[in-house]
């Protein structure tokens, strides 16, 4: 189990979240290095999704610290966390149904104080240039994800696969320091899977760090250099997939499918 | 003809009020029962700014604050600002982590407290008596006769409606409006993509209050008087009905709905007493049909007659820089 | 002391109505803005019967029946069809607001907008401890107490109460475990309407004359009591009513009678602002 060296981009210490008597996340600790593509796996109910909710600020942790980019972000509202460079995609696509596809993409670009009533009228040149640049970027990403012809459609009219692409395109437009991807491959056909895989690689190429939560081991193995295994709300092991296959705890909890949790 | 001028003037003002309600219900998706409070603040605000200092006599017993004797246009602006400021204060309290239906309850509380204070405290804006005695705005310059002036004021209100329409359309299409609609469509996703829900909602709420106050100020300048019993908080439902019938979040639809529900319907039901022996049935029938139209619209056409329009992008593909079609190439262009 | 005495009577009426609202909310999770109209139709039903007999019992029965029918119709005819089609909470809420306006105006068409007089003939005052109460006051409070105790027994002791609590806790689970959820919800609305109708009648008798906005005028006081007590919690609703009732009557004496509702709203706003942890957990569940 090789702990990574150097300053981490994300460092989670003693993270806890209990729902009633259920310890969804119970003393979870791990760190993510800048530029890596790291997998987070674990059996159902291990607390992976809750970790994503906690990291993105949609759920407040009961205890623990989340160091992101040199700053403690636990307990901060989601919009602040996003502004500091941490974006997530949702397991079930959450598009804005009555907005056009293009508008959906434009929302994903950080507004940088551009979305005020005042700027609807007296838009200084800088802001107008920013809006124009945002449109162009959104259109080119739309092209990349085959959404360009659909850019003027209401988002609710998209098919399931197209919504998934939209979800991914939004993350790409946000250009986060750290992208949290919550099971992007779940229920997706093989063609789309290749496309999303390419999307993940282009996120990395663009300088983002990626935390990939996955249920399917195949993808994690083919994509990730390092994998964290969560069992019953904590990290049971981490390392390369090859190392983890040797790990008996992981074998019992996950690969073997017996009930350690 | 005078009849149509009256209906038209009140119709234009009501359409402005509906456009204000459309901000909270159409853009943000919440019910603001304090809305008529802001209308009243605008009405009183305009009057106390326009009127000279109060000198209560037996003939005009009402007494009120300020009395700055400002001209019409600055008073209109001032009244609008009062409404926006009041909405900012109420919103700052009501919009804090409350569920939609609780926002409605809290705003209803504020509206009732406001009515109670405005009607009890006779030094503030004349208490139960209200304020009256406003002079026809701008007529000291125009010197028009009653008919001529009524046409002028109709034109003024239609112009004001156009102005409000253009301003709100512009805001609706701006990044601010886009963010608001994202909050309405899915607030968790909007928050996850960096939108500050509280701040966005609060700003929209204040904008709604300002529009309401602007409409109220125009109304007071038309009636030349105002008292606290001009409205009940439930009447906001009829404005919401206008929004729902015409088209939620579609400004043109909202104006159309306002005309249908709040101008045509009351005028038609005004004829009801001729058909029955009940002489007071008119306004009640208008309210019943207006509120009933909410139920019917929600059941059969929730978006309204004119659906919300999405922004259409007309960029031609060719005008884009040659975007790569395959993702392997995309990597290199992104890097 | 006089203030507290009146406060107890008001509290008894508010408590009846609030407990009905809270019970309905805990089971259906819909905020009913037409709750005041359940009370108003009860008041008018009592008033109509009073034109024929001065006996309070048939008047009360009519009030209960009128409220119950409106409660049932509101659920069966309006809210259930919409919630079956997946309407959101805010849409259901808007529907109840529209209903409030419709019922008020129907009553206005039927009875006119002016005040109707409604009295109970026995007006003797009794000294009870430090308090001074009329016979009507005492009847009101005893009835309220009996109903509240019966509700308590029904919810705690009967199978129906258990089923109701199960639906309140988890509608989906209750459905899958074979509890006839729709019937429970339907009956809850009937119960809510009946109790609210009775409360409306007592309220009308207490104030002596009323208009179609009687119940609506008290709606936010009732919401205040329910939310102060923690909405959806029956016992909290009782405590909340007591607090609100006493606050209103005491402030009527020491501040200004016309500000007594304002004081109730102020309490509500302050509670929502400064004790959100006591109230918000119940709010955010829905």
Domain check: are B191 and B52 in the same one?
yes
- CA B255 to chain C, closest CA, distance in angstroms equals 20
> Tell me, what's the pLDDT at B324?
44
**Does the distance separating the beta carbons of B320 and A99 come in below 8 Å?**
no
B132 vs A74, B45, B52, C177, CA distance in Å? Answer: 57, 13, 12, 65
What does the domain layout of chain A look like in residue ranges? Answer: 10-95+174-255, 99-157
H-state helical runs in chain B: 2-21, 35-50, 72-94, 100-120, 122-125, 139-142, 146-173, 175-185, 187-192, 197-223, 236-246, 251-258, 265-269, 272-275, 281-300, 327-334
CA–centroid distance for A5 within its chain: 23
- The pLDDT value recorded for residue A254 is 64
Residue in chain B nearest C267 by alpha carbon: B109
B141 and B249 assigned to the same domain: no
B323 belongs to a structural domain: no
B305 min Cα distance to partner chain C (Å): 18
Cβ neighbour number for residue A133 with a 10 Å cutoff: 11
At C2 the pLDDT is 56
B318: in domain:
no
| Nearest chain B alpha carbon to A141 | B323
B:C CB pairs within 8 Å: 116
Range 54-93 of C in CB contact (< 8 A) with B: 78, 81-82, 87, 89-91, 93
Contact B285 C109 (CB under 8 A): yes
Instruction: Report the residue of chain C nearest B296, measured CA to CA.
Output: C95
From A46-60, A128-142, B36-50, B120-134, the region with the lowest mean pLDDT: B120-134
Q: Name subunits touching A (3+ CB pairs < 8 A).
A: B
User: Are residues C277 and C271 in contact, defined by beta-carbon separation less than 8 angstroms?
Assistant: no
Q: Which residues contact A40 (CB under 8 A, 6 or more apart)?
A: A48, A51, A211, A212, A213, A214, A227, A228, A230
B108 → chain C, closest CA residue: C220
Q: Are residues B152 and B131 in the same domain?
A: yes
Of A11-15, A206-210, B322-326, C7-11, least confident by mean pLDDT is B322-326
Domain that holds residue B246: 233-310
For residue B289, tell me if it sits in a domain.
yes
Q: What is the largest CA-CA distance in chain A?
A: 64
Residues B79 and B170 in one domain: yes
How many domains would you assign to chain B?
2
Residue A169 contacts residue A155 (beta carbons within 8 Å): no
Instruction: Tell me: do B189 and B299 sit in the same domain.
Output: no
Question: In this structure, is residue B20 part of a structural domain?
Answer: yes
Q: Look at C109 and B284 and tell me if their CB atoms are within 8 Å.
A: yes
**Chain A residue with minimal CA distance to B313?**
A152
Cα A237 to chain center, whole Å? 21
Q: Using CB atoms, which residue from B195, B313, B323 is nearest to A140?
A: B323
C108 and B295: CB-CB below 8 Å? no
The structure tokens listed for C251 are: 């402030």
Judge A/B contact: 3 or more CB pairs < 8 A.
yes
Rounded to whole angstroms, how far apart are CA atoms B216 and C170? Answer: 46
Distance from CA of C75 to the nearest CA of B (A): 14
Q: B49-67: string of b/e by CB count within 10 Å (b at 16+)? A: bbbeebeeeeeeebbbebb
Using CA atoms, how far apart are residues C197 and C215, in angstroms rounded to an integer?
A: 10
Contact B310 A103 (CB under 8 A): yes
The reply to whether B128 touches chain C by the CB within 8 Å rule is no
Chain B partners within 8 Å of C213 (Cβ): 232
Residue B103 falls within a domain, yes or no? yes
Per-residue model confidence (pLDDT) at position B67: 79
Which CATH architecture is the domain A10-95+174-255 placed in? 3-Layer(aba) Sandwich (3.40)
Chain A residue numbers touching B178 (CB-CB < 8 A): 99, 103, 106-107, 115
Min Cα distance B296 → chain A (Å) is 21
Say if CB C220 and CB C43 are below 8 A apart. Answer: no
Of B191, B308, B331, the CB nearest to A79: B191
Tens digits of pLDDT across chain B (335 residues): 788 999 999 999 999 999 999 999 999 988 999 999 999 999 999 999 988 887 777 666 677 888 788 899 999 999 999 999 999 999 998 888 666 777 888 898 899 889 888 888 877 887 778 888 888 888 878 888 888 999 999 999 999 999 999 999 999 988 999 999 999 999 899 999 999 999 999 999 999 999 999 999 999 999 998 888 767 788 889 999 999 999 888 999 999 999 999 999 988 888 887 777 777 788 889 999 999 999 999 999 988 898 888 778 877 655 555 444 444 333 333 32
B171 and B188: one domain? yes
Looking at chain A, the whole-number percentage of residues with pLDDT higher than 70 is 94
Optimal mutation site among A91, A96, A127, A197, interface B, most CBs of chain B within 10 A: A96
For residue C263, the chain B residue with the least C-alpha distance is B113
**Minimum distance, in Å, between the CA of residue B268 and any CA atom of chain C:** 17
Q: Nearest residue of B to residue C83 by CA position?
A: B299
**A10-31: average pLDDT:** 90
Q: Do B320 and A136 touch (CB under 8 A)?
A: yes
Same domain, B119 and B192: yes
Mean pLDDT of A96-106: 92
A45 touches chain B (CB under 8 A): no
Q: Are residues B101 and B214 in the same domain?
A: yes
- pLDDT, mean over chain A: 86
Report residue C97 as tokens.
């607001």
- Matching residue, tokens 């107008």: A128
* B316 within some domain: no
Contact B311 A100 (CB under 8 A): yes
Tell me if B335 is assigned to some domain. no
pLDDT at A211 over 60: yes
Note whether B182 and B265 are same-domain residues.
Answer: no
The residues near A97 (Cβ < 8 Å, ≥ 6 apart) are A154, A155, A156, B185, B186
Query: For position B158, what pLDDT does the model report?
Result: 97
**Is B65 part of a structural domain of the chain?**
yes
Contacts of B182 in chain A (CB under 8 A): 96, 99, 103, 107
With vertex at residue A143, the alpha carbon angle to CA A138 and CA A145, rounded to the nearest 5 degrees, is: 95
B contact residues 270-329, partner C, Cβ 8 Å cutoff: 278, 280-281, 284-285, 287-288, 290-292, 294-295, 298-299
B218 in reach of chain C (CB within 8 A):
no
Strands A86-89 and A71-72: unpaired
Q: What is the pLDDT of residue C248?
A: 82
Chain A residues close to B315, C-beta within 8 Å = 135, 139
- The confidence score (pLDDT) of residue B323 equals 46
Q: Are residues B295 and B278 in the same domain?
A: yes
Clarify whether residues B124 and B171 are in a common domain.
yes
Query: In this predicted model, what pLDDT tens digit does every residue of C4-49 receive, in sequence order?
Result: 666 678 778 888 999 999 889 888 888 899 999 999 999 999 999 9
Chain A touches chain C, with at least 3 Cβ pairs below 8 Å, answer no
Q: How many angstroms away from the CA of B150 is the closest CA of chain C?
A: 32
* Partner-chain contact C259 B120, CB within 8 Å: yes
Task: Dump pLDDT digits (tens) for B223-241.
Answer: 998 888 767 788 889 999 9
Q: What is the CATH number of domain C2-285?
A: 1.10.3470
Interface touch C97/B101, C-beta < 8 Å: no
B222/B285 same-domain check = no
Q: Do chains C and B touch (3 or more CB pairs under 8 A)?
A: yes
Q: What is the pLDDT of residue C1?
A: 56
More confident residue, A102 or C10: A102
Q: What was the pLDDT predicted at A2?
A: 45
Set of chain B residues whose Cβ sits within 8 Å of the Cβ of A154:
310
Of A96, A115, A148, the CB nearest to B175: A115
Give the residue ranges of chain C where pLDDT is below 50. 277-286
Return the residue in B21, B99, B105 with the most chain C beta carbons within 10 A, the one to mutate for interface testing: B105
- By C-alpha distance, the chain C residue nearest B93 is C273
B186 touching chain C per CB within 8 A? no
């Amino acid at each position: 189990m090789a702990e990574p060296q150097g300053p981490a981009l994300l460092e989670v210490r003693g993270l806890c979240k209990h729902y009633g008597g259920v310890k969804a996340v119970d003393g979870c600790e791990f760190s993510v290095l800048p530029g890596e593509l790291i997998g987070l796996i674990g059996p159902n109910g291990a607390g992976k999704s809750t970790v994503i909710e906690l990291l993105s600020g949609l759920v407040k942790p009961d205890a623990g610290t989340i160091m992101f980019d040199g700053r403690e972000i636990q307990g901060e509202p989601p919009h602040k966390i996003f502004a500091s460079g941490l974006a997530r995609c949702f397991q079930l696509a959450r598009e804005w149904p009555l907005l056009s596809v293009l508008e959906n993409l434009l929302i994903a670009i950080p507004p940088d104080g551009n979305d005020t009533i005042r700027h609807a009228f007296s838009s200084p040149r800088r802001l107008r240039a920013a809006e124009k640049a945002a449109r162009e970027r959104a259109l080119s990403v739309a092209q990349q994800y085959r959404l360009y012809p659909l850019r003027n459609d209401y988002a609710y009219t998209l098919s399931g696969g197209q919504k998934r692409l939209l979800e991914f395109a939004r993350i790409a437009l946000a250009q986060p320091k750290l992208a949290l991807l919550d099971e992007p491959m779940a229920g997706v056909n093989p063609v789309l899977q290749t496309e999303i895989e390419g999307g993940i690689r282009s996120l990395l190429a663009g300088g983002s760090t990626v935390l990939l939560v996955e249920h399917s081991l195949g993808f994690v193995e083919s994509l990730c250099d390092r994998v964290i295994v969560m069992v019953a709300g904590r990290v049971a092991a981490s390392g390369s997939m090859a190392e983890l296959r040797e790990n008996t705890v992981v074998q019992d909890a996950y690969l073997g499918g017996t009930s350690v949790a | 003809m005078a009849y149509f001028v009256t209906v038209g003037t009140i119709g234009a003002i009501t359409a402005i009020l509906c456009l204000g309600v459309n901000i909270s219900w159409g853009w943000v998706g919440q019910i603001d029962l304090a809305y008529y409070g802001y209308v009243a603040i605008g009405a009183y605000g305009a009057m106390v700014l326009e009127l000279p200092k109060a000198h209560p006599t037996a003939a005009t017993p009402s007494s009120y604050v300020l009395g700055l004797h400002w001209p019409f246009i600055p008073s209109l602006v001032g009244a609008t600002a009062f409404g926006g400021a009041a909405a900012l204060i109420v919103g700052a309290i009501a919009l804090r982590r409350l569920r939609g239906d609780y926002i409605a309850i809290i705003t209803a509380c504020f509206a009732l407290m406001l009515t109670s204070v405005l009607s009890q405290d006779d030094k503030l804006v004349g208490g139960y008596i209200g304020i009256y005695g406003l002079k026809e705005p701008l007529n000291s310059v125009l010197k028009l006769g009653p008919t001529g002036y009524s046409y002028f004021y109709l034109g003024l209100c239609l112009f004001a409606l156009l102005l409000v329409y253009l301003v709100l359309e512009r805001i609706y299409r701006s990044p601010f409006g886009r963010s608001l609609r994202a909050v309405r469509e899915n607030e968790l996703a909007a928050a996850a993509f960096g939108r500050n829900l509280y701040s966005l909602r609060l700003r929209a709420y204040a904008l709604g209050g300002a529009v309401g106050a602007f409409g109220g100020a125009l109304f007071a300048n038309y009636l030349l008087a105002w008292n606290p019993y001009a409205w009940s908080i439930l009447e906001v439902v009829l404005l919401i009905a206008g929004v729902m019938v015409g088209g939620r979040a579609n400004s043109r639809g909202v104006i159309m709905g306002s005309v249908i529900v709040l101008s045509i319907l009351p005028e038609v039901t005004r004829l009801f007493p001729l058909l029955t022996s009940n002489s007071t049935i008119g306004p009640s029938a208008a309210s019943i049909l207006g509120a009933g139209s909410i139920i019917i619209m929600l059941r059969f056409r929730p978006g309204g007659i004119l659906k919300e329009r999405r922004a259409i992008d007309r960029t031609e593909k060719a005008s884009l820089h040659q975007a790569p079609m395959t993702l392997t190439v995309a990597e290199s262009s992104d890097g | 002391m006089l203030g507290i005495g009146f406060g107890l009577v008001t509290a008894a009426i508010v408590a009846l109505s609030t407990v009905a609202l809270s019970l309905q909310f805990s089971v259906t999770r819909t905020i009913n803005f037409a709750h005041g109209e359940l009370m108003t139709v009860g008041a008018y039903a009592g008033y109509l019967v009073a034109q024929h007999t001065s006996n309070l019992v048939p008047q009360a029965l009519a009030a209960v029946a009128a409220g119950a029918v409106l409660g049932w119709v509101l659920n069966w005819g309006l809210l259930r069809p919409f919630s079956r089609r997946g309407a959101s909470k805010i849409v259901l809420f808007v529907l109840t607001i529209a209903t409030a306006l419709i019922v008020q105006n129907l009553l206005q068409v039927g009875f006119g907008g002016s005040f109707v007089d409604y009295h109970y003939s026995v007006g003797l005052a009794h000294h009870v401890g430090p308090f001074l109460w009329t016979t009507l006051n005492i009847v009101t409070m005893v009835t309220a107490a009996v109903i509240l105790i019966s509700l308590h027994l029904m919810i705690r002791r009967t199978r129906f109460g258990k089923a109701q609590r199960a639906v309140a806790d988890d509608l989906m689970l209750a459905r899958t475990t074979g509890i006839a959820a729709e019937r429970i919800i339907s009956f809850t609305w009937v119960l809510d309407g009946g109790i609210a109708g009775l409360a409306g009648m007592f309220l009308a008798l207490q104030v002596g004359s009323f208009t179609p906005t009687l119940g609506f005028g008290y709606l936010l006081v009732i919401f205040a009591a329910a939310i102060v007590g923690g909405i959806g919690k029956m016992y909290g609703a009782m405590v909340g009513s007591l607090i609100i009732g006493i606050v209103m009557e005491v402030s009527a004496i020491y501040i200004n009678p016309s500000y007594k509702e304002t004081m109730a709203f102020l309490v509500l706003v302050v509670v929502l602002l400064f004790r959100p942890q006591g109230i918000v957990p119940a709010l955010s569940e829905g």
